[in-house]
Chain A
Amino acid sequence: MPPVEGFLYPNEIELQWSVLIVLYPFITGLVAGAFILASLERVFNVQAVKPTYRIALLTALAFLLVAPLPLQLHLGHPERSFEMYLTPHTTSAMAMFGFVYLWYLMAVLVVEIWLDYRKDLVLRRRASTGLRRWFYTVVTLGSDNISPASLRLDHRVGYIVTVIGIPSAFLLHGYVGFIFGSIKANPWWSTPMMPIVFLFSAIVSGIAAVMLVYMAYARLQKVPIDMPCLDTVARYLFYAFLIDFSLEMLDLVHRIYESDESFKTLDFMVKTRLFTSQIVLQIILGTIVPLALLAAAQLVRFRAPARRALYASAGVLTLIGIFAMRWNVVIGGQLFSKSYLGYTTYKMGFATREGMLPAILLMILPVAILAVLLWLLPPWREEREPAHAAQPGGAAVGARVF
């Protein structure tokens, strides 16, 4: 495939947004999705998913901490990025990133996690000495009251924070979609559907990620997987995926039917340069196959090990599919000329600042942070003993421990 085909404006030869900008909506999507899964239990009282509640919160935190890094690494002048806080340009969607991000991190996620873990932290502080005690004193912010009344208050405030958190999670990812959707110069991006499609794909990827983290963590901790919980999470993944798929198809059908001046260009691109990533990876392997697997688990009574395998495969494929979707939006939107007369290709470096290696490291980093968080703040710690005690069929461990 020739690198450049047809006519591009001379300044367009170089792609502006690289794989790092693909990571940004992917990572923030995982955050928003994981939080929405956590809020299922907290606000909508879906008890079955309780074992994943704290895992979902910690997953959201781990990925949120990494979310600004690809952006930062991509900037021509990272040292000036703080200017966005000091002198934000109010008409710019991008100027709002810092505020949306900080609001979500500091006002929602950290507060909710702290309230939820406060009792554990106080107990750990009491049980430890020396430097560890000092550390826990700091993270409990000096609070030592774990009376039932105080814990009730924690719970109530936590509930309110979660209620505020749901629209905030929607805001976070809807906002990321808006960054692209509001660029009228680019017909591949410019659609009011973009924030909504981003939002639902975020929910899908977040649920899939938490499901996988739960399965992996339970296996590492040698705790039997709570199948009713896993089934429920998979069911929610299936529902969210159906909505996401319908929305994306709606967008696609709308574009095909409308066939505006950019359509031939976009159509050509999907059939050539984006064929593998869009048709094969995103739609077939990343959407239809996991949807079929999840549907099969709903329709057929598989045994628990088979269901686990189905869910694991569906989860991994879902994440690949959503990553491909982000890729196709970000990279795909830059592969054609704004003159609609030509196409270019994206050449990713390896060990360059915006190459594949930093991208891989940036994907490993949140997983490493999550591992530390899960070690520092174990989601099921105190109740592990009863979990190990005889539990026929390994069921309902998570449901009981909380």
Chain B
Amino acid sequence: MDRRTFLLQSGKLLVLSAPAAIAWEHVLAGEPQAAPNYQASDHWWAMIVEIEKCIGCGSCVRACKAENDVPDEPYFFRTWVERYRINPEDPEHPIVDSPNGGFDGFPPVPDEQGAWKSFFVPKLCNHCVDSPCEQVCPVGATFRSPDGVVLVDADYCVGCRYCVQACPYGCRFIDPRTHTADKCTLCYHRISKGLTTACCETCPTSARRLADLKNPADPIHEFLRTNKVQVLKPQMATRPKVYYNDLDGSVR
């Protein structure tokens, strides 16, 4: 290396080290830069779940509990994973399990069920456009944000549990510490800063992906156009925004 090249490289390194140092600081802090320019009305959040990619590892469940300080007891989940096992001779009556919401993964299937169809279904709040939980809340503590996320104002919630009864998907619970309703917020504290949700981030197979329907560049548009996508319990007319690919008809 001659002197000229050395000086150029050193100069570049010096110039780049400043942003690198700043970037590294954020990596260490685990915090994204604040997004003061976040415009809720510019987004319309949804989620894609690809059934065939989910391996039931439970990373999403663990990540969600850790990220959102969800109580450890096995009755409280913002997201959980169900395992469906279907006897090909009786496809109408699946055997479903979700030990501790899939937190620790799933035990192996019994041998005789080896020939059965088996798959995992991650579940979370569907952030319905016509959400029954938002409709029934007597004080308006549950509300829909302009970017299509259903949220709960814990400082307003009276803890009547009407919303828990109204949710057809079993997505809500009463936090035993605050005595208020709780559920998936789609990691609103993250997505409003330009990050993805904790569950999507940790999913090793990208079975879950956050999507922004208002962003024309989002791959969701291509995905919805080219795949057989279904929502849960469409007969409830709640217009859910969690889109499942290759969803089996037996899933409830």
Contact = CB atoms under 8 A, between A and B. Distances in A.
B187 interface: no
A185 B167 contact: yes
Interface in A105-133: none
B110 to A, nearest CB: 16
B105 interface: no
Nearest to A11: B173
A293 interface: no
Contacts of A147: none
Interface in B86-117: 94-98, 100-101
B165 A11 contact: no
Interface residues of B, number: 45
Interface residues of A, number: 40
Contacts of A94: 136, 138, 160, 162
A290 B163 CA distance: 38
Contacts of B75: 10-11, 13-14
A75 interface: yes
Nearest to B78: A11
A183 B101 contact: no
Contacts of B151: none
A339 to B, nearest CB: 4
A338 B82 CA distance: 14
Interface stretch (A36-44, A80-88, A237-245, A270-278): A80-88
B169 A9 contact: yes
Interface string A1-28: 0000001111111101100000000000
A267 to B, nearest CB: 15
A306 interface: no
| Residue among B82, B100, B140, B180 with most chain A CB within 10 A | B140
Given A7-B96, A10-B98, A77 B180 contact: yes
Nearest to B183: A11
Interface in A322-342: 334, 337-341
A77 B158 contact: yes
A305 interface: no
Contacts of B173: 11, 14
A341 B101 contact: no
B165 A84 contact: no
A7 B159 contact: no
B138 A16 contact: no
A16 B174 contact: yes
B141 to A, nearest CB: 8
A7 B157 contact: no
Contacts of B170: 8-12, 337-339
A179 B165 CA distance: 11
Contacts of B162: 92, 94, 179
Interface string A68-80: 0001001111101
Given A7-B97, A185-B165, A341 B252 contact: yes
B154 to A, nearest CB: 10
Nearest to A94: B138
A89 interface: yes
A12 B168 CA distance: 11
Interface string A43-67: 0000000000000000000000000
Interface of A: 7-14, 16-17, 71, 74-78, 80-81, 83-84, 87-89, 91-95, 97, 179, 183-186, 334, 337-341
Smallest CB-CB A-B distances: 9 pairs: A76-B159, A9-B170, A76-B179, A185-B168, A89-B140, A95-B138, A7-B96, A94-B138, A339-B252
Interface of B: 74-77, 80, 82, 94-98, 100-101, 123, 132, 134-140, 156-162, 164-174, 178-180, 236, 252
26 contacts: A7-B82, A7-B95, A9-B123, A10-B98, A10-B101, A11-B75, A11-B76, A11-B77, A11-B170, A12-B170, A16-B174, A76-B158, A76-B174, A77-B157, A83-B156, A89-B137, A91-B135, A91-B136, A92-B162, A94-B136, A94-B162, A97-B138, A184-B236, A185-B132, A337-B170, A341-B252
